[in-house]
Amino acid sequence: FLQSGSKKPKHINVVTPIYPLEVIKSKKSQRLIIDTQFVDQLIETLHLALHKSQKDILIFLPGLSEINFVKKQLHDKFKNLEINILHGSMLIDEQKKILLESSSNSPTRRLILSTNIAESSLTIPSIDCVIDSALVKKSIAEVKIGFKKLEVSRISLFSAKQRAGRAARTGPGICFQLWHALDERSMPNSIQPEVLTSDLLEESITLLSLGIQNPDNFSWLDKPTTSFKQAIDKLQKWGLVNTEKGRLAQSTPLDIEKSFLFIELSLHGMQKAASTFLAFLETTNFEKLTEPIDLEQLK
C-alpha cells in the first residue's frame, strides 16, 4: 500500500504459522440428502469429534432448512452443548455475535451449524474441529416454471480443502469428512463462479444501490459474459431501482425475482399465501411432477 505523502509502495510481509491439520474420511459413502440416516452418521461422528477435539465444532450443511432439521435432531442428543447457526441471511451483527461470543476458556462447547458462508470469508477463533457434509445449495433455473430454485449438490475438491482449513486457523485442528475416498471421483476439482451463470438481477440491484450506474464497467474478477442491460431494464420495470421497494427486496432472504413476487402479493393482502407458494417452489422437484397441482390446496 501507499503511505500518505509517499509515491513508493511499502511492502509488508505477514508471516502466519501453519498449524497441523488431521483429516479423517468416512468409511461410508456420502449421503446426498440430509435425512435421518445422515443425522445418525453425524451423531456417530460428533461423539468421536468431541473426544478428539478440545474446542468448538463447525459443521458444514447445505442450507438453512437442513440446518434447522439437524439442529432439532441434535438438541436432545447433546443437551450439554450450545448449538448455534450461521448463514448468509442473518444480519451482520448476528453473525459477529456467533464469531465473538465464545472463547477457548468457555465452559460450554458449541456446535456451529453453518452454510458455506464460513468456508472462506469468516474465521471463528474458537474452532478446532470441522465436520463437512460436502454438500452445498446451488441456484439453478427450473425450466418448467421459469423460476430459480436451490438444489443440493456436491462441493468441489477445492471447497473441501477450504472447509477443512477452517479447523486449523488458530491452532492444530481436525476435520471429519463425511464421504468415502472413492466419492471424490464424483466431486469436481473446482466450481464455475456463479456470476458467469447468473441472471445478474442480484448483482445489478446491489451495484445500482451503491451508485455504480454501469455494472458492465465494474472491475470483475470473473467478468459476466452477458450484458447487464436486460437485468437493469427488468429491475426498473418492477420499480426496484433506488426505491424503498428495492431496498425491501434486497433485505428479503430470497432471490430478487421471488422477493419482488413476495412483496407484490403481500401488498395485496396475500402474505401467507405467498409464503406457502414460495416454499412450495423451493422444495418441489418439478421434473418429477406428472399431474397438475392445485395451488389452493397447498399447506
- Cβ-based neighbour number of residue 1 at 10 Å: 7
Q: What is the DSSP string of 139-183?
A: EEEETTTTEEEEEEEEPPHHHHHHHHHGGGSSS-EEEEESS-GGG
Q: Looking at residue 83, what is its pLDDT?
A: 92
Gyration radius from the chain CA atoms: 22
| Predicted local confidence at residue 295, as pLDDT | 61
Closest CA to 138 of 112, 172, 115, 118: 115
Q: Residue 178's pLDDT is what?
A: 96
Going by C-alpha positions, the residue among 279, 260, 245 that lies closest to residue 149 is 279
- What is the reported pLDDT for 297? 63
Torsion angle (degrees, nearest 10) of CA 114, 143, 33, 137 = -20
**Residue 6: its pLDDT value, please?**
58
| Residue at grid coordinates 427486496 | 249
Q: What is the pLDDT of residue 125?
A: 82
Confidence at residue 296, expressed as pLDDT on a 0 to 100 scale: 65
Task: State the Cα angle at 188 between 187 and 189, rounded to 5°.
Answer: 120
Sites in the chain below the pLDDT cut of 70: 1-9, 101-107, 121-122, 141-147, 283-299
Angle, CA of 14, 19 and 22, to the nearest 5° = 150
Whole-number Å distance between alpha carbons of 154 and 138: 10
| pLDDT for position 276 | 85
C-alpha cell of 50? Answer: 468431541
Confidence (pLDDT) at 183: 93
The per-residue pLDDT for 71 is 94
pLDDT at 199: 84
